[in-house]
Chains A and B, each alone.
Chain A
Amino acid sequence: MEPFRSHRGIVAPLHRENIDTDQIIPKQHLKRIERTGFGTYLFSDWRYHPDGSPRHDFVLNQEHYRSATILVAGKNFGCGSSREHAAWALSEFGIRAIIAPSYADIFRINAGNNGLLLIEAAGTTVQRIAAQAQARPPYELTIDLENQTIADGDGLSERFEIEPFRRHRLLHGLDEIGMTLTHEAEIARFEAAVLRCTPSQGYSNLGTAT
């Protein structure tokens, strides 16, 4: 996973709340067996006409936002389906960070597993950034994960909160499976301590609980 330390990029505003993963990557594009090839289809129903030509009313098709790497959006971003294809599509398009008041749980985990930084910001901050990005594109922000700050070099400089462990993983691009496998002994001990059977014998672990 590519580490995330500091990033400067153009902001694109999506003036919507509850942007679900069906919008981020519609289901007709989920049939690939690779992790790649999804960027072209990011927001495809909003981004293209049915004949495949670009819709000029969609922000990421507009001149100043085409190379955006930061999205700013409404609350509950990434709700709905668990499809990690949403995170893959965003990353492949070039999005490195999202700024929104809140995120859905599964999307939050998927983003973390793909080095995509989700910043949870107050509604007023989100509105301020969205308004700037709308009014004077290309509007750029610098996101410093090390110091947990976002700044535009023109008056906006705010600290954001992020769980320390999530920050640590992003900063170092750590592979979660590799981390868990260092606890092989604990997993094996757990399996041995609790009588674990095949399904037809009935799983049993509660007998030894607490």
Chain B
Amino acid sequence: MYKPKTLFEKVWDSHVVLEREGEPTLLYIDLHLVHEVTSPQAFEGLRLANRTVRRPDLTFATIDHNIPTTSDERFHIKDQIAAQQIATLRRNCAGAGIPLFDVGSGRQGIVHVIGPELGLTQPGMTVVCGDSHTSTHGAFGALAFGVGTSEVEHVLATQCVSQKKPRSMRIGISGALPDGTSSKDLILEIIRRLGTDGGTGHVIEYAGEAIRGLTMEERMTMCNMSIECGARAGMVAPDETTFAYLDGRPYAPPGEAWDKAIARWQPLATDEGAHFDKDITIDASHLAPIVTWGTNPGMSAPITATVPGPDNAQDESERNAILAALDYMGLQPGTRIEDIALDRVFIGSCTNGRLEDLRSAAKVLRGYKVHNRVTVLVVPGSEAVKQAAEREGLDSIFTEAGAQWREPGCSMCLGMNPDILAPKQRCASTSNRNFEGRQGRGARTHLVSPAVAAAAAVAGHFVDVRGWEYRK
């Protein structure tokens, strides 16, 4: 008798190379994405052990973490150590025959933006990358997760990973997202409810009517931040929205192969009656825009709320965590979120650096000027996103409002390039992590959606974007 399976189990089971009692499973990897920061030691390890790259044809590289976002400096990097890391990637890719989407190629960008937009990421695949936000690719019904550098080396050498099978969790989202909210608010709400370790050891499938109604880019934002509640991966079952997104992309199957691919992808849904280790339902219809106030992505509140205090803690350890976060963030309990004043706004990253994100921010900014105290950085997720945005004239909306329109890369999401905050500067950021020092030593990060970030840029403080007066 056929045992009903979850989407995750279908993808997992079809990639098992070897399974032995008491050992991790050897799992085949269909797509390995590589970038400059977590790969040099892996290639070096291969060389030292006299090993080669098994499947350069299933491996693709780009430059994103280190790259400066000004048009002249991206080709003439002043930071010599960063430049060396990038030169090393170029040399390693050339040596192994790995395609590299280099700066200026028209295809460079944040690794989790270009995989989908080039059609490399496809339903039912296994995808890994030496970056925790690899979970992004799960939006296509792929099993995608971040790995460390030793595992990058392992995949280069064997095209497999050795993994213990994660448990499964379904988060069903009922209702539809209210106007003025986005999938960023939804995933921040989920992380707040689950906590930063609520998903540990699990692969999450996002399901339900609200998810079906999301675009691919919105689904990517959700899967992207699955790691922020500790989950191994996030997944959404592929549907017509997925197929329409992929159709005609450079690496999507062409012609007859496309029809065959659709036939293979269609059964990729959780079977009726399949078992999940955890099953949660969340009603999205009362969702509000969410703002983080603390130093991990679970420390957040609706925009209409106030900053919590130690009295809101469940135990001593949470109390200490709240006190440490408030101290680092320079916030007082009871302060209205809307009264928090900002110095900087960052719109970009693998979470919210895609075309729809830029459209959403531009829609808010159109006809407005950013507050004179606030510096706004808009960093498209890829060269393709940048070109598409410019074709629509989004760049003019940003620059006319007084924002800086930059070149693609990870930029201020993690500040490995020159885009960092000064100590104690406060930033509304569309990125994924508000850890201490993430955007610069002593820097204070508030995670928000692109629309909330744009509204905050104009007002100089957080505002409830649901009441925004859009201008033509």
Q: Residues of A with Cβ closer than 8 Å to B?
A: 15-18, 20, 22-23, 26-28, 30-35, 45, 50, 74-76, 79-85, 87, 102, 104-106, 109-110, 113-114, 163-165, 176-177, 179-181, 183, 186-187, 190-191, 194, 197-210
Q: Are B38 and A83 in contact (CB under 8 A)?
A: yes
Q: Are B257 and A79 in contact (CB under 8 A)?
A: no
Q: Are B66 and A31 in contact (CB under 8 A)?
A: yes
- A30→B149 CA distance, assembly (Å): 12
Any A CB within 8 A of the CB of B341: no
Question: Quick one: closest A residue to B246, CB to CB?
Answer: A202
Question: What residues of chain B lie closer than 8 Å to A17, measured between beta carbons?
Answer: 317, 321
Q: Are B132 and A80 in contact (CB under 8 A)?
A: yes
Shortest CB–CB separation between residue A132 and chain B, in angstroms?
Answer: 18
- A200→B60 CA distance, assembly (Å): 13
Given A79-B196, A102-B200, A200-B251; A84-B149 close (CB under 8 Å): yes
Question: What residues of chain B lie closer than 8 Å to A207, measured between beta carbons?
Answer: 264
Q: Are A199 and B31 in contact (CB under 8 A)?
A: yes
Given A84-B38, A209-B10, A209-B13; A20-B296 close (CB under 8 Å): yes
Q: Are A105 and B201 in contact (CB under 8 A)?
A: yes
The listed residue (B147, B162, B264) touching A82 by CB distance below 8 A is B147
Question: Quick one: closest B residue to A104, CB to CB?
Answer: B230
Q: Residues of B with Cβ closer than 8 Å to A?
A: 10, 13-15, 17-18, 22-24, 26, 28, 30-31, 37-38, 40-41, 44-45, 49, 51, 57-58, 65-66, 79, 81-82, 84-85, 88, 119-120, 122, 124-125, 130-132, 134, 145-151, 153-154, 157-160, 162, 164, 166, 196-197, 200-201, 227, 230, 232, 250-254, 257-258, 260-261, 264-265, 267-268, 296, 317, 320-321, 324, 414-416, 423, 433, 435-438, 441-442
Q: Are B79 and A31 in contact (CB under 8 A)?
A: yes
Which 8 residue pairs across A and B have the least CB separation, nearest first?
A202-B253, A209-B14, A113-B150, A84-B148, A33-B40, A110-B148, A82-B146, A76-B197
- A21→B14 CA distance, assembly (Å): 32
The listed residue (B41, B131, B162, B200) touching A104 by CB distance below 8 A is B200
Given A82-B132, A187-B158, A187-B159; A204-B441 close (CB under 8 Å): no
Question: What residues of chain B lie closer than 8 Å to A105, measured between beta carbons?
Answer: 166, 200-201, 230, 232
27 examples of A-B residue contacts, CB within 8 angstroms: A18-B197, A22-B433, A22-B435, A23-B437, A28-B416, A33-B41, A35-B45, A50-B442, A76-B230, A79-B230, A80-B227, A81-B132, A82-B134, A84-B130, A84-B148, A84-B149, A84-B150, A106-B147, A114-B150, A181-B157, A183-B26, A186-B17, A187-B17, A203-B124, A203-B125, A204-B260, A206-B268
